[in-house]
């Protein structure tokens, strides 16, 4: 049976705290386990200062306007839930003061999408932070042992999990399982759009493997109609 992730509040609140505060301070960053409310917007850690993986990211192909700013259109399927509106998405960023350091503005559009505006430096930092944080480093999520990008656009991602630990929390229902699916897809899709992929063309395939045996547990293509359901 598939259960709708309730307002995406549990995984979303973990995401916003983790990405804002945890990248450079994994041992002391607050990572709540059962938050009652939160934001689904991706607010990357503003303190991150480069690609910790040692990989040089491909430059974004989004054009720089005459005003020196870069516009990116975020589609609704990257907002964090089927019921999320563009207005909800904008408000989440407006409510997070640290976001202003990495984004010039966020506005809703009549077609239900959102336009994010960056300086070139802001965009590069934003992309680097998503790329780094999508590896779940310092997240204190014990079941996720490794996140491997199979290409530099995050179109194929392999997540290795501790299957025994995940069974203890209820495989398919645990917070870790939701994060290794929906949140990783959101981050991959957002990264692609900010790198120049048209909003309707972002895609990623997430493969979940048993860290001990290497056995494939699941392979899921995103976006899909059930990406905000917990199986």
Q: So where are the chain's domains?
A: 3-230
Mean pLDDT of 98-109: 88
Of 60-74, 88-102, 182-196, highest mean pLDDT: 60-74
Given a cut of 70, is residue 139 above it in pLDDT? Answer: no
User: Could you report the per-residue pLDDT of 186-215, keeping only the tens digit for each?
Assistant: 889 999 999 999 999 999 999 989 888 999
What pLDDT shows up at residue 28?
Answer: 33
Question: Which tops the pLDDT comparison, 38 or 157?
Answer: 157
With a CB cutoff of 8 Å and minimum separation 6, the contacts of 84 are 8, 40, 76
Using 50, 70 and 90 to split pLDDT, how confident is the model at 30? very low
Rounded CA gap, 122 and 168, in Å? 41
Of these ranges, 10-14, 34-38, 68-72, 82-86, the one predicted with the greatest mean pLDDT is: 68-72
Is the model's pLDDT at 219 over the cut of 70? yes
Q: Which residues contact 85 (CB under 8 A, 6 or more apart)?
A: 76, 79, 108, 112
Q: Is the pLDDT of residue 8 over 80?
A: no
pTM above 0.85, yes or no: no
In three-state form (DSSP H/G/I as H, E/B as E, the rest C), the secondary structure along the chain is CCEECHHHHHHHHHHHHHHHHCCCCCCCCCCCCCCCCCCCCCCCCCCCCCCCCCCCCCCCCCCECCCCCEEEEECHHHCCCCCCCHHHHHHHHHCCHHHHHCCCEEEECCCCCEEEEECHHHHHHHHHHHHHHCCCCCCCCCCEEEEEECCCCCCEEEEEECHHHHHHHCCCCCHHHHHHHHHHHHHHHHHHHHHCCCHHHCCEEEEEEECCCCCEEEEEEECCCCCCEEC
């Amino acid at each position: 049976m598939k259960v709708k992730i309730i307002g995406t509040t549990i995984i979303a609140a973990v995401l916003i705290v983790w990405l804002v505060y945890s990248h450079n301070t994994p041992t002391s960053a607050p990572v709540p386990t059962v938050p009652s409310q939160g934001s689904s917007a991706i607010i990357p850690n503003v303190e991150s200062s480069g690609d910790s993986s040692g990989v040089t990211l491909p430059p974004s192909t989004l054009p720089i306007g005459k005003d020196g700013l870069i516009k990116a259109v975020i589609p609704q399927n990257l907002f964090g839930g089927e019921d999320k509106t563009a207005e909800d998405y904008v408000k989440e960023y407006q409510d997070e003061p640290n976001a202003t350091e990495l984004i010039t503005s966020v506005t809703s559009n009549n077609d239900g999408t959102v336009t994010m505006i960056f300086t070139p430096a802001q965009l590069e930092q934003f992309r680097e932070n998503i790329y780094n944080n999508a590896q779940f480093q310092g997240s204190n999520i014990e079941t996720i042992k490794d996140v491997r990008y199979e290409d530099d656009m995050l179109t194929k991602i392999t997540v290795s999990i501790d299957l025994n630990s995940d069974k203890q929390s209820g495989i398919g229902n645990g917070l870790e399982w939701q994060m290794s699916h929906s949140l990783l897809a959101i981050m991959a899709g957002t990264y692609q759009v900010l790198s120049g992929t048209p909003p309707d063309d972002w895609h990623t395939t997430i493969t979940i493997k048993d860290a001990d045996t290497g056995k494939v547990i699941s392979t899921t293509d995103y976006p899909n109609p059930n990406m905000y359901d917990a199986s």
